[in-house]
Structure 1
Amino acid sequence: MKVLVTGGAGYVGSAVARLLVDAGHEVVVLDDLSRNDASQVPAGARLVQARIHDAATVLTPDAGFDAVLHFAGLIAAGESMVQPELHWDNNTVGSLALLDAMRAAGVRRLVFSSTAATYGDPSELPLTENAVTKPVNTYGATKLAVDMAIASEAHAHELAAVSLRYFNVAGALVLPDGSMIGERHDPETHLIPIALQVAAGQREKLAIFGDDYPTPDGTCIRDYIHVGDLAQAHLLALEAARPGEHRVYNLGNGTGFSCKEVVDAVREVTGHPLPVEMAPRRPGDPAELVASSARARAELGWTPAKPDLRDIVADAWTFFRSGL
């Protein structure tokens, strides 16, 4: 297939793009590089530097695309609460422009990178796809709006679509040629890479936001998934998409780890001290998010190969030390 990967210079998008290239697909990456690095685009993929709003300049009727994998979006929940206009414009308005471009070009297959943040602060765990969607931050709301738009597009215009909802992605994709794809955000907002920076002496200390949540140790609990496992799920979803259907799958290990447990794992893996500072809660942070992936396992045949937190941290640490 000829596929367009939006946001394909990002962490997850570049990992999926690499697997697509390795599987023999023709891959075009669309990324504005505002927060990503062109060096992450895999060899064998063609990069087009453009905003998601301008997808129609690439998705032309004669371009011959068969499918789109959509990762282009802002992901920082905290930022979304103080600059909501950025997230609504990029995540939602940009995605609507993409759907328009796909419809005009006759491209009828889509895999969307959604999020478990669409569920908000759930009353029952682990999260299933039937859980109530009630996001508590703007980021989750923008993604839910896109999910709803995709469902309408599938119903009205025979789009074959799959939304994959996941929360904390970590680790590094280790490839057969010895190269790696890992997490490099600027600025970095995710717990594990920040913790690794502290362990390596690049930061003075790690801030944990809130220790008074209704969890066993008072800190937030999240379900971490290895980026390699997540990337494989996107390829399975691409094959599973069916015209007129919008399927939603939660992806997770089914086991949650608290911020303090992540700190302990980083200390164990790196062998370095990790100074921690407790900070006030951030707006829009649910206490606990753990996803059930039972439907994905049953319908997509997806099984995470690296569910253990220490394996995830170890791969992230290897990538960090490689300087890639």
Structure 2
Amino acid sequence: MGLPTLDENNSSIKRALVTGSSGNIGSTLVPRLLAEGWEVFGVTSRPGISSHPLFHEIYFNWHAPKKILVPQIDVIFHLASQNSAYEARENVVKNVTNTLLSFVTIIESVKESGSRPVLIQTGSISEYGLEMPASTDTSYPNPQTFYECSKLTTQVYGDQYVRENIVSQNFVLRLSNVYGNNQRTDGAQRGFLDRCIRLGISGQPLTYFGTGNYVRDYIHIQDVINALLTCYEYRRKLEHRSYDIGTNVATSVFEMLQIVIREIDDIAKIRTKLYQKDFPANSYDIEKRNGFVRQTTFGYETGWKAKITLSEGIRESVYSIFTRDSKI
């Protein structure tokens, strides 16, 4: 039996294709979509994330992409990505296969459904390179690693798919440092902040490189999910193709770690040690840059804004992880 089309059953139900549905952002977005009545088709290589009747799993091998059966859909949330710049450098061919070739294969599968959905991709503010521009509306990214190059390439292909009339619109949300997915326990969490919380609660010391004075913009995953859904909701009113998504608050890595240590001590009664090391010799310069969102164009056009402060988000994460793990 094939996948349903928009004309079958209840055509008023919105349908989303979520790539990377078992990943960090996808595993938070999918339950939110289902809770709001969406029918969700999750493209993943790790099955079993949901048994909801409106969730349909589509297995996809990112290392050897082949066309898949895709239904008629309203929107593609393209979240899947190989997220390590160092892994990308180690095997450039694999990185291109996992990102660009897989993306094109999925979009070509969508093409055969004839649905012309909206495409919403996630990027990173690291795509701007060593210096964040004062205004990103008129600035072009300056990638410094193969990871950023691959992300930008999929975005350019997305624009071409619009011109080819295969997708109706292509939006890129360039995210600052995402944290706060407290449900994942499989070790796949790559975010530095989330990893530090888990290490601290398990009694292990935390380490930062260099001075720790370089700043980041940490955004809670629930604010990111709201931004993704807002982008779709305001798709006909948005004036730009790409937007930076952050809190507009710069926090040094050292300051962030102090908040983590304080909350772990307060909630879990665990004293966490903190060590400083020099950056490894093979580190990218982009690791040492200051990166945060200085403007809120997306907020001006939609009314969206980040609502969860860093202290609130860290405290909630520490409490959630500690209370769950202490019951195991």
- State if a TM-score over 0.5 links the two structures: yes
The count of corresponding residues between Structure 1 and Structure 2 is 300
SS at match of 1:57: coil
Report if aligned partners of 2:219, 2:247 keep a CA contact under 8 Å in 1: yes
Which residue pairs with 2:19 in the alignment?
A: 6
| Residues 159 and 46 of structure 1: CA distance in aligned 2, closer, same or farther (over 3 Å) | same
1:242-282 CA deviation, whole Å, 9 max, x = no partner? Answer: 59x97211100011212111111101111132322313152
Matching residue within 289, 292, 309 for 1:290: 292
| Residues 250 and 152 of structure 1: CA distance in aligned 2, closer, same or farther (over 3 Å) | same
Report if aligned partners of 2:223, 2:307 keep a CA contact under 8 Å in 1: yes
Matching residue within 11, 17, 29 for 1:16: 29
SS at match of 1:276: strand
Report if aligned partners of 1:160, 1:242 keep a CA contact under 8 Å in 2: no
1:158-197 superposed matches below 5 A:
159-172=168-181, 182-184=183-185, 186-197=187-198
Report if aligned partners of 1:74, 1:91 keep a CA contact under 8 Å in 2: yes
Distance 1:117 1:79 in 2: 16
Distance 1:298 1:260 in 2: 31
2:51 aligned with 1:51? no
Report if aligned partners of 2:16, 2:73 keep a CA contact under 8 Å in 1: yes
Q: Which moved more, 1:50-59 or 1:220-229?
A: 50-59
| Residues 209 and 310 of structure 1: CA distance in aligned 2, closer, same or farther (over 3 Å) | same
User: How far does residue 29 in structure 1 lie from its aligned partner after superposition?
Assistant: 0.9
| Residues 251 and 199 of structure 1: CA distance in aligned 2, closer, same or farther (over 3 Å) | same
Distance 2:51 2:245 in 1: 24
Distance 2:132 2:306 in 1: 25
User: How far does residue 5 in structure 1 lie from its aligned partner after superposition?
Assistant: 0.8
Distance 2:105 2:111 in 1: 10
Which residue pairs with 1:214 in the alignment?
A: none
Which residue pairs with 1:177 in the alignment?
A: none
| Residues 26 and 112 of structure 1: CA distance in aligned 2, closer, same or farther (over 3 Å) | same
Report if aligned partners of 2:24, 2:189 keep a CA contact under 8 Å in 1: no
Question: Alpha carbon RMSD of aligned pairs, Å?
Answer: 2.6
User: How far does residue 130 in structure 1 lie from its aligned partner after superposition?
Assistant: 2.7
Which residue pairs with 1:316 in the alignment?
A: 317
Question: Higher relative contact order by CA 8 Å / sep ≥ 6: 1 or 2?
Answer: 1
Which residue pairs with 1:30 in the alignment?
A: 43
Report if aligned partners of 2:79, 2:122 keep a CA contact under 8 Å in 1: yes
2:142 aligned with 1:134? yes
Report if aligned partners of 1:171, 1:313 keep a CA contact under 8 Å in 2: yes
Residue segments in structure 1 that go unaligned for 5+ positions in a row: 173-180, 212-217
Residue segments in structure 2 that go unaligned for 5+ positions in a row: 1-13, 266-270
Which residue pairs with 2:120 in the alignment?
A: 111
2:274 aligned with 1:275? yes
Give the AA of the match of 1:230.
V
**TM-score, scaled to structure 1:** 0.83
User: How far does residue 120 in structure 1 lie from its aligned partner after superposition?
Assistant: 1.2
SS at match of 1:230: helix
| Residues 8 and 171 of structure 1: CA distance in aligned 2, closer, same or farther (over 3 Å) | same
Report if aligned partners of 1:16, 1:235 keep a CA contact under 8 Å in 2: no
Report if aligned partners of 2:19, 2:42 keep a CA contact under 8 Å in 1: yes
Report if aligned partners of 2:209, 2:279 keep a CA contact under 8 Å in 1: yes
SS at match of 2:25: helix
Distance 2:51 2:126 in 1: 29
1:202-228 CA deviation, whole Å, 9 max, x = no partner? Answer: 53x3232333xxxxxx54321111100
| Residues 278 and 107 of structure 1: CA distance in aligned 2, closer, same or farther (over 3 Å) | farther
Report if aligned partners of 1:164, 1:250 keep a CA contact under 8 Å in 2: yes
Distance 2:276 2:48 in 1: 34
1:41-61 CA deviation, whole Å, 9 max, x = no partner? Answer: 4744222222356573231xx
2:164 aligned with 1:156? yes
1:217-296 superposed matches below 5 A:
218-242=212-236, 247-271=241-265, 272-281=271-280, 282-283=283-284, 284-296=286-298
Give the AA of the match of 2:278.
A
Which residue pairs with 2:106 in the alignment?
A: 98
User: How far does residue 88 in structure 1 lie from its aligned partner after superposition?
Assistant: 1.7
Report if aligned partners of 1:171, 1:314 keep a CA contact under 8 Å in 2: no
| Residues 58 and 256 of structure 1: CA distance in aligned 2, closer, same or farther (over 3 Å) | farther
Distance 2:150 2:257 in 1: 30
Distance 2:175 2:186 in 1: 18
Q: Which moved more, 1:219-228 or 1:128-137?
A: 128-137
Report if aligned partners of 2:223, 2:306 keep a CA contact under 8 Å in 1: yes
Which residue pairs with 2:268 in the alignment?
A: none
User: How far does residue 98 in structure 1 lie from its aligned partner after superposition?
Assistant: 2.0
Q: Work out which of the two has the higher radius of gyration on C-alpha atoms and give 1 or 2.
A: 2
